[in-house]
A and B are shown apart, each in its own frame.
Chain A
């Protein structure tokens, strides 16, 4: 069961990183501010998921929970800030 969980954690990290890269590429193509905020959010979420992998797979333990939560908070705060700022 543990290997299955590890696979899901790794997939979360890989997919969020792919989202960040694709959204950044989209922003490079057509400079829509919303794409920038979304990609910044997914960069943060990718960091969040990579910390999850480090925390639970590479170094098992719950030591990085605060940093994981803070990276998630920063990511979402950036996105919502961008949404509020740019959609007006």
Chain B
């Protein structure tokens, strides 16, 4: 059951990453690029965790470092966005690209 849910979460992470990749391609806003990378890292974390199911602690630590990196990437994205917005004003605001 847990493996199944974890697999679903990994798949959803990949899908979310794809959406952010599409937004990045449309707007060329780095913010979305960081988000796409972060969600794919989360999916990678789930994959590594599954491969290390019965492994010892130090390997699992590495898997959680991937997860940590993905959250740090989101923080970098937010800080980067806040640094850029005053310079470029409203032009680069976070907006959902319309079709």
- Asked if A pairs with B, the answer is yes
Interface of A toward B, CB cutoff 8 Å: 1-2, 4-5, 8-9, 11-12, 15-16, 18-19, 22-23, 26, 30, 32-35, 38, 41-42, 45, 65-66, 69-70, 72-73, 76-77, 79-80, 83-84, 86-88
A5 touches B16 (CB 8 A): no
How distant is the Cα of A34 from the Cα of B93 in the complex, in angstroms?
12
B54-84, CB under 8 A of A: which get 1 and which 0? 0001101100110110011011001001000
Q: Can you name 18 A-B residue pairings with CB atoms under 8 Å? A: A5-B57, A8-B61, A12-B68, A18-B71, A19-B74, A19-B75, A22-B78, A26-B81, A30-B93, A34-B94, A35-B94, A72-B6, A76-B16, A80-B12, A80-B15, A80-B19, A83-B15, A87-B23
How distant is the Cα of A13 from the Cα of B67 in the complex, in angstroms?
10
We find that the number of chain B residues with CB closer than 8 angstroms to chain A is 34
B19-63 CB contacts (< 8 Å) to partner A: 19, 22-23, 35, 57-58, 60-61
Q: Is the interface of A mostly helix, strand, loop or mixed?
A: helix
4 new A-B contacts, CB < 8 A, other than A35-B94, A69-B2, are: A19-B71, A22-B75, A33-B96, A80-B16
Q: In chain B, what residue has the closest Cβ to A13?
A: B71
Interface of B toward A, CB cutoff 8 Å: 1-2, 5-6, 8-9, 12-13, 15-16, 19, 22-23, 35, 57-58, 60-61, 64-65, 67-68, 71-72, 74-75, 78, 81, 93-97, 99
